[in-house]
Chains A and B, each alone.
Chain A
Amino acid sequence: MTTTNSSGDVRLSGISKTYGSFTAVHPLDLTVPQGSFFALLGASGCGKTTTLRMIAGLEEPTSGTVSLGDQDVTRLPPYKRPVNTVFQSYALFPHLDIFENVAFGLRRRGIKSVKKQVEEMLDLVQLGEQARKKPHQLSGGQQQRVAVARALINHPEVLLLDEPLGALDLKLRRQMQLELKRIQTEVGITFVHVTHDQEEAMTMADTVAVMNAGRVEQLGAPADLYENPRTTFVANFLGTSNLIEAEVDTRSGAEIVLKAGGGKLTLPSERCSAPTTTGGKVLVGVRPEKISLTHADDAGEIPDGRNRVTGRIADASFTGVSTQYVIDSPAGAELAVYVQNVDRDTRLAPGAEVVLHWSPAHTFGLDASQDIEAGVEKVEEETS
């Protein structure tokens, strides 16, 4: 089934999926390069699983095409596609033992001598001892590895993973993330991974596509997405962002000067994804760990050229590695600041007047017409 030519990219061209009047996936173009670890990241109901199922052939797209390399597979049923899926909650065959579960795909393709391959695959996922057990006799983490082995043994061109770690507890999930990453590096197969966990996506994937309401909001390497979000959804969904509403004061080539909360902020124009007109509104963003905190009494010591915002500490929580402050400021309520616990300034306690300052290079600008709260994690969503 495996082809040796290099054009093994997964290409989605204008695929969409509608159920009655509900559009799960809006027309979407996406290319997953061969051999990459690609993550589709988004909250539940954003269309990421539907997209994955369309690649697997379990869902027929309403429009558009799916190609693997040069082959258009849009009309192929799942059993004819050279892709395999690791299902959410695994879907292992309960009446077959681990060996037969893993051998299932090989046997269906008429391969007679499966013993050696299955044993090698079980060794790869460290389950050689469990071959004759039934799935229900294994722990969640072991079942998860069987599901991966059962799919990988077929040497698919693409391995699809649908929230494969969702059912595991946090510690095991971290362990399996590294394990999956190791396996992917070892076998070199394209992995398309669906997850709602932004940390998981950033840890594992080479490329992350952030999806929201059936659309890809932004696509890129994890660090690039984190540092240069182009929408408020991406800024808030990947980590935490401080977004401050500001007005454009002057524009001079490489720099934009903005007015916010009585002060001025500088923004490199190449880091602004929104159109700017003098007097227009822009959302200024900065990550909490990029901000330094200085007590108002020492404001004179802050080097020139840094963006500064004044405020008062509303809350401080000590987390060991860092202290997380919540600052009330005229520029924007409840700004978050994470300060590494290197030299702790004891004056920085709730109620203290402070100056927040950061390098203009760490500032990004977003279109102010968006919902400033988009992608902020809601408490009730965390439990699901």
Chain B
Amino acid sequence: MAAVTEAPPLAPVPAKKPPRKRGRWTPYLLLLPGILWLLVFFALPMVYQASTSVQTGSLEEGYEVTWHFATYWNALSEYWPQFLRSVLYAGTATVLCLLLGYPLAYLIAFRAGRWRNLIMILVIAPFFTSFLIRTLAWKTILADGGPVVGALNSLHVLDVTSWLGITAGDRVLATPLAVVCGLTYNFLPFMILPLYTSLERIDGRLHEAAGDLYARPFTTFRKVTFPLSMPGVVSGTLLTFIPATGDYVNADLLGSTDTRMIGNVIQSQFLRILDYPTAAALSFILMFAILIMVTLYIRKSGTEDLV
């Protein structure tokens, strides 16, 4: 591209009108509904919450923007255990989802054959019931004296989990284990679907090529299949981790006061204690914390050019 010789102009070129002026605005028109939606239901509430978080006052006398940033510090110093717990529970649930979901996604993508569609439907089937109902069902499953607790008890599994501090006595309900189980169950499809999509896209001949180049089946998985499924792993873990961190339904229904996550705190600040500035500040801290963690994670996983 270094030397481009231009042909000498033969005649003065008449100023050309840009062709098809009509189509120029089409992309913007197509963007408009989405932009409006985001403006009304995302940008405006964000601004509103940001201003709420720096207000002071009381419900009776009304709130006023006083740029009171101390709310953030107070909220963080009071509720850091709940923040930490949220990250821990959501992180554990994400890892469990990955460990449970990867083999299943692998099976559907490579081994299911004509059962593939059926298994996919089974993965998505829970979505036909409400999130709340499904979580309530787990309350029944893990109920005291129920078959699950009975079985775990007779196998002395509960002795181990109690010793680890994730269950209490012969109860499973109202313990960290129950909350993490609920989170894992509810977010598992969000892990499986992106994993399946990225595994299914892998060309089967790459497995043959790896085998042909002296890679044993497990090495083929480690060196070819898994690296190529990284986009699915990253999007699956994000789709699980982000909503799980802010979730409060599982901790509310399956947990106790000792397993409160940050979502529960924000919910009660907003709806019960009616301390709007603290609730708004907590929401922003959560958002920034997740943003930082996600950014570090994507950097670390090095999949920018694969996604």
Interface residues of B in 181-235 (CB under 8 A from A): 203, 205-206, 208-216, 219, 223-224, 227-228
Return the chain A residue nearest B230 by Cβ.
A95
Given that A91-B206, A95-B306, A108-B219 are contacting pairs, would A78 and B224 also be in contact in the complex, using a CB cutoff of 8 Å?
A: no
Q: Contact: B203 with A91, CB < 8 Å?
A: yes
Q: Which of A91, A95, A109, A154 contacts B209 (CB 8 A)?
A: A91
Q: Report which of A84, A92, A94 forms a contact with B212, defined as CB distance below 8 A.
A: A84
With a CB–CB cut-off of 8 A, which chain A residues contact B210?
93, 104
Q: Is there a chain B Cβ closer than 8 Å to A326's Cβ?
A: no
Interface residues of chain A: helix, strand, loop or mixed (majority): mixed
Docked CA distance A93–B211 (Å): 12
Give residues 40-89 of A contacting B (CB, 8 Å): 56-58, 77-80, 83-85, 87, 89
A87-B209, A91-B208, A105-B214 given; 13 more Cβ-contact pairs under 8 Å: A58-B208, A78-B212, A79-B214, A79-B216, A84-B212, A87-B205, A89-B205, A93-B206, A93-B210, A95-B224, A104-B210, A104-B213, A108-B214
Cβ contact within 8 Å between B212 and A56:
yes
Q: Assess whether A287 is interfacial by the CB under 8 Å rule.
A: no
User: Within residues 97 to 144 of chain B, which ones have a CB less than 8 A from any CB in chain A?
Assistant: none
Partner of B214 from the list A58, A93, A95, A109 (CB cut-off 8 Å) is A109
Q: Which of B210, B214, B219 has the most CB of A within 10 A?
A: B214
Would you call A78 and B208 a contact (CB within 8 A)?
yes
Contacts of B223 in A (CB 8 A): 104
Is there contact, CB below 8 Å, between A58 and B212? Answer: yes
Q: How far is the CA of A120 from the CA of B213 in the complex (A)?
A: 19
A-B complex: 3 closest residue pairs judged by Cβ atoms: A105-B213, A108-B214, A91-B205
- A residues lining the B interface (CB < 8 Å): 56-58, 77-80, 83-85, 87, 89, 91-95, 104-105, 108-109, 150-151, 154
Residues of A within 8 A of B224 (CB): 93, 95
* A90 to B152 alpha-carbon distance, docked (Å): 52
B212 and A95 contact, CB distance less than 8 A: no
B211 near A58 with CB under 8 A, answer yes
Residue numbers in B under 8 Å from A151 (CB-CB): 212-213
CB–CB B205/A95 < 8 A: no
Q: How far is the CB of A84 from chain B (nearest CB, A)?
A: 6
Residues in chain A near residue B219, CB distance under 8 A: 108
- Set of chain B residues within 8 Å of A108, measured between Cβ atoms: 213-215, 219
Which residues of B (14-30) have their CB < 8 Å from a CB of A?
Answer: none
Taking a contact as CB atoms under 8 Å apart, the answer to whether B211 and A77 are in contact is yes
Q: In the bound complex, how far is the Cα of B212 from the Cα of A108, in angstroms? A: 11
Residue ID in chain B nearest A102 by CB atoms? B213
Complex Cα gap A89–B211 (Å): 17
Specify which of B206, B212, B215, B228 is in contact with A85 (CB 8 Å cutoff).
B212
